[in-house]
A and B are shown apart, each in its own frame.
Chain A
Amino acid sequence: MNDVPILAADRLRKQYGRHDRERSNVFAVDDVSVSLFPKETLALVGESGSGKTTTARMLLWLLRPTSGSINFEGIDLANATRTQMRRYRSSVQAVFQDPSSSLNPRMRIRDIIAEPLAVNGCPRKDIESRVREAIKDVGLDADAIDSFPHEFSGGQRQRIAIARAVVMRPRVIVLDEPVSALDVSIRAQIMNLLQDLQGFLEVSYLLISHDLATVRFLATRLAVMHQGRIVEEGDSETVFNHPRHDYTQALIAAARFVRPNDRALQSS
C-alpha cells in the first residue's frame, strides 16, 4: 500500500464547553488518530453523537482541536505557512449532506462552481472552461450553468455541490453524509457518480456516514466511532465480514437486510 498519508489526524481531542466555566470531562472526540492514504476511501462510521462529524470538521480545519494535530502532506496545520495553508485549502474539498443549504440560492451555478477557482487565483480566462468541465464531470447538462439551485431536484443539487468540490482537482474530498438527504432511487445515481469520479480524478475520499449501506459500497477502509473514540478500524471487507468489537457487530446486525422469506425460515 501507499505508505505516506495525505491527511492524518494524530491523537485528536475536542472538548466543547464554555470558557468561563470549568470544562466537563466529556470529549466529543477523544484520542482519535486516523490517516487517509492516496486514492482510498476511508469511512468514519458511527451513530449520532459518536464524534464523526466533529472529527471531519477538525480535518477540514473548520474546528480547532483541543489537543492533537492534523497533518497535511506531512505539514502540521497548526504551524503551516500561508502558502502551505493555501495549498491545503485548495487540495481538500468537502461535500455536505444537504445541498439545499450548502448552495447559495442567490448565485448561479456558474458562480457557485467558479468561486473556489477565483478564490484560489485561477487565471480568469481558464475559469469558464474549468467550470464547464466540472459540470460535465458530474453528469449535468451544459445549459445548467446559468440556472439557480432552486431549479434543480435534490439529486441534481448534490451534483452541483460535487462539481464545486471537483473543480479544484483536489487530492481529498470530505463527504459528510453525501446521500442521506436523497431519495432511494437518486442515491444510487450519486453513489455511482462518486465511484466513477474517484476512478478518473484519483482522489481520496473521507466518508462520514451513519448508513452502513453507503459505506459498504464506497469505502475501502473503515473506522468505527463510538462515544468519541475509534473502537474498530480495518479493511472494509474484513470489518463487514468479521466485525470484532461488540458495537460494530451490533451496528452491522441492525443494518443487515432481512428479507421476510428469510425471517420466515429463521423462525420456523
Chain B
Amino acid sequence: MAMLAEPPLLEVRDLQTHVFTKRGVGKAVAGASFSLRAGETLGLVGESGSGKSLACFSVLGLNPKPASRIVGGQILFKGDDLVKKSERELRAYRGGRIALVLQDPMTALNPVFTVGNQIREAVRLHQKLSRWAQHRQTVNLLERVHIQNADTDVFAYPHQFSGGMRQRVVSAIALAGKPELLIADEPTTALDVTVQAAYLSLLKEIQAAEGLGIVFVTHDFAVVARICDRVAVMYAGKVVESTSTVELFRAPKHPYTEALLKSVIDVSHRPSRLYSIDGNPPSIFSATKGCSFAPRCIHANAKCHNEAPPTVSTGPRNSVSCWRYVS
C-alpha cells in the first residue's frame, strides 16, 4: 500500500466557515470534507448557496473578511494546515502553489491594461526574470492557452477578445506561478456551449502536461461528466456524497445526488415531464436538527428529521452522509 503513504495534494477536513451578519450567524460551510490527489480533477457540485464557492475561497484564506471566518476544521495542502498559516505565509501559496480561476473573465481582468501586462504582472510576482525573459514567458503562456498570434495579441486589451479567449487569458495568469493546484470556480458558466467544450479540453491538456490537481466548482453535470475524475456533492454547507465520476453516474447513493441527476435533461431525447425536487434548499441561518435534505427527501423518515446522519464509507475513497447506508 505504497500509495497511501503519500499525502493527498489537498485534504479539507470538516471545514466550517461561518458568516456573521445582522441576521445572526450563518453556517455557510458547515463541516465540509473532500480530498484531491495530484493530477486529479475533483468536481465540487452544488446549487447556489450550498457553500461550494466559499469553501474554495476558504482554502486560500480569501473568504470575505470580516463577514466570514473559518471557525473549525483543517485545510491540508500536502500535509500543511493552511488554516493555521498567517496572512504573510498564505501569500506564498496564493497564485504560486495554488491558483484561482473565477467565473467571469470580464471582471477578473482589468479593462485598462493589456492582457500581456496582466499576465506579466503574475510572472513578475512569482519568478525573478529579466524584462525580456518576462515578455518571452508571457508570450509563451499565451501560446500555451492556444491564443493564436500570441506575439501581437499580447498587446491587446481584454475587450478585444471574445469570452472564451478572455477565460484562457485568466488561465494563463493562473499558470504563471507554476501552481500545483488550480481552483476553478465555475469557469465555464459564462461561456457559450461550443466554447465551453474547447476550454475544458484545454484544461485537460494543461493538466496532463503539468500534473495539476484541479478543484472544479460547478453546478452542471454535463461539465462534470466531461472533466472530473471525482465528485463531491455539496448540500447546505456539507459534502453529502464523495465518489468517482463513473460511480456517480452509474449508481448515485445520496437521494439528493440521485434527484439532481434525474433532473438533468439529455438533448438526445425529449422527456414528457421533468423530474423536479420539490421545495427549496434550507437557509444557512436556520438551525437544522436532522439531515438538511430531509424536508425535500422522498425517503425521509422520523430519524432523518431528528438526527444528523453520519458519514458512511462506501468504498476506498467513497462516502455518503445518509441514514439509508447505516447498517
Contact assessment for B280 and A186 in the assembled complex, using a CB-CB cutoff below 8 Å: yes
Across the two chains, which residue of chain A brings its CB closest to B263?
A: A188
A126 within 8 A of B: no
A210 within 8 A of B: yes
Contact assessment for A192 and B276 in the assembled complex, using a CB-CB cutoff below 8 Å: yes
Docked pose: A263 CA to B220 CA in angstroms: 17
- B249: chain A residues at CB < 8 Å are 259-261
- A184: chain B residues at CB < 8 Å are 47, 219-221, 260, 263-264
How many residues on A have C-beta within 8 angstroms of the other chain's C-beta atoms? 38
A-B contacts at CB below 8 angstroms, number: 100
Docked pose: A173 CA to B233 CA in angstroms: 36
CB contact list, A237-268 vs B, under 8 A = 237, 240, 250-252, 254-261, 263-264
Docked pose: A48 CA to B106 CA in angstroms: 15
Across the two chains, which residue of chain B brings its CB closest to A215?
A: B267
The interface bits of chain A over 146-182 (1 if a CB of B lies within 8 angstroms of the residue's CB, else 0) are 0000000111100000000000000000000000000
Contact assessment for B274 and A217 in the assembled complex, using a CB-CB cutoff below 8 Å: yes
A133 within 8 A of B: no
Q: A192-B276, A257-B225, A259-B249 are in contact. Are A210 and B270 (CB under 8 A)?
A: no
CB contact list, B221-244 vs A, under 8 A = 221-222, 225-226
Across the two chains, which residue of chain B brings its CB closest to A236?
A: B270
- A240: chain B residues at CB < 8 Å are 267-268, 270
Contact assessment for A47 and B193 in the assembled complex, using a CB-CB cutoff below 8 Å: yes
A85 within 8 A of B: no
A141 within 8 A of B: no
A130 within 8 A of B: no
Docked pose: A195 CA to B271 CA in angstroms: 12
B6 within 8 A of A: no
Taking the closest CB of chain B, its distance from the CB of A117, in whole angstroms, is 29
A254 interface neighbour in B194, B220, B270, B275, Cβ under 8 Å:
B194
Docked pose: A47 CA to B191 CA in angstroms: 9
Contact assessment for B263 and A252 in the assembled complex, using a CB-CB cutoff below 8 Å: no
B259 within 8 A of A: yes
The interface bits of chain B over 237-281 (1 if a CB of A lies within 8 angstroms of the residue's CB, else 0) are 000000001100110000000011001111110110111111011
Docked pose: A254 CA to B270 CA in angstroms: 17
Q: A251-B194, A261-B250 are in contact. Are A256 and B268 (CB under 8 A)?
A: yes
The interface bits of chain A over 97-129 (1 if a CB of B lies within 8 angstroms of the residue's CB, else 0) are 000000000000000000000000000000000
- B192: chain A residues at CB < 8 Å are 47-48, 210
Across the two chains, which residue of chain A brings its CB closest to B266?
A: A257
- A260: chain B residues at CB < 8 Å are 225, 245-246, 249
Taking the closest CB of chain A, its distance from the CB of B258, in whole angstroms, is 12
Which of A156, A189, A214, A263 has most B Cβ within 10 Å?
A: A189
The interface bits of chain B over 161-194 (1 if a CB of A lies within 8 angstroms of the residue's CB, else 0) are 0010000000000000000000000000000111
- What are 21 A-B residue pairs whose CB atoms fall within 8 Å in the complex? A47-B193, A47-B194, A184-B221, A185-B47, A185-B260, A185-B263, A186-B280, A188-B274, A188-B276, A188-B277, A191-B274, A210-B193, A216-B265, A217-B270, A217-B271, A251-B194, A254-B193, A255-B193, A255-B267, A256-B268, A261-B249
Apart from A254-B194, A261-B250, list 10 A-B contacts with CB within 8 A.
A154-B48, A184-B220, A185-B259, A210-B192, A212-B267, A237-B270, A251-B193, A256-B266, A256-B268, A260-B246
**Top 3 nearest A-B pairs by Cβ distance?**
A188-B276, A213-B265, A47-B192
